[in-house]
Amino acid sequence: MELFEDMRTKRHHAVVGLDTDYIHLPLSVLRADVGDAMFDFNARIVEVTADVAAGYKLNLGFYFKKGLKGLEAMYRSVQMIHEIAPGAAVIADVKTGDIGSSNEAWATGLFDEFGFDAATFHFYTGKEAMQPFLVRADKAIIILCRTSNPGGGEFQDLEVVDPKLPAVTGKPLYQVVAQHVAEQWNYNGNCMIVAGATYPAELRYLSQHWPEQWKLIPAVGKQGGKAKDVVENATAEGKFRAVINSSRGVILAYSDEKFLARHPEFRGRPEKFAEAARVAMLELDNEITATLALV
């Protein structure tokens, strides 16, 4: 699909996660209107990263947290990104996945009303219920597979036992999900899977077994994932079919001690949050590019 082709031809492979939590906004963007403050923060981040970001991921929870004002800020942010960073993928991190009729409503709202290019989903209701999304060949469908959180293995690592499907019997659930997505769901070439940077062995397995399958890789930065390790583990048969997401590591770089140790010029300067975000994003992009040249 066009979205993946853009990623394949661009030099940049990193997505900025606009996990805009109002309680962490610097004083310089605070407004009487909560929605205006969140939007202004996002706009500043996008303005300084538009030339280096492959896309932007907005987590619904941080906007829903502020009610109608937050949702309005999210809507305005999506339109702003399309205007300031044309061609960048705008991803809704909603992790939905209901029955078919509900999914039809979600697809219409996310893609047609809010204007997102892609969205994250749970796999639990299966291929049949996911049809309202899978048929949208012009949108990216990003299915949770091996998530980055420490407790993700509670279900994702459980071994599947199915006498009717000997090919999957004995495999952990995340591998079965990846196999279904890559071999059955991706008939429109619009599916991605989520594979967290915090699980390098699992990421390597997924990449080696399905080297053509595109992946969204969260947890680089604050959650401890390293871009260099991600590129090495996600590259197979000479192909790097992935985009790396960094949220707090970019948008809150101005308050991150590790970042400030490298860039003391930003210490005590929260009004320089956008400039700090650009430096953090350039560091991430350069690390990805340098590693890609070696693998």
As given in the structure block, the two tokens for residue 250 are: 């970019």
Question: 95, 222, 226, 228: which is the annotated catalytic residue?
Answer: 95
As given in the structure block, the two tokens for residue 107 are: 């697809």
What is the C-alpha separation between 7 and 12, in angstroms, rounded?
7
DSSP 183: I
DSSP 108: I
What is the C-alpha separation between 282 and 285, in angstroms, rounded?
5
| SS3 state of residue 154 | helix
DSSP 172: B
- The reply to whether 228 belongs to the active site is no
Provide the residue type at 26 as one letter: P
Strand segments, DSSP code E, in 76-126 are 89-96, 118-121
- Cross-strand bridge partners of residue 57: 17, 91
Phi then psi dihedrals of residue 157, to 5 deg: -95, -5
> CA nearest 181: which of 140, 135, 143, 233?
143
Strand segments, DSSP code E, in 150-251 are 191-195, 214-217, 235-236, 239-240, 242-246
Active site residues: 95
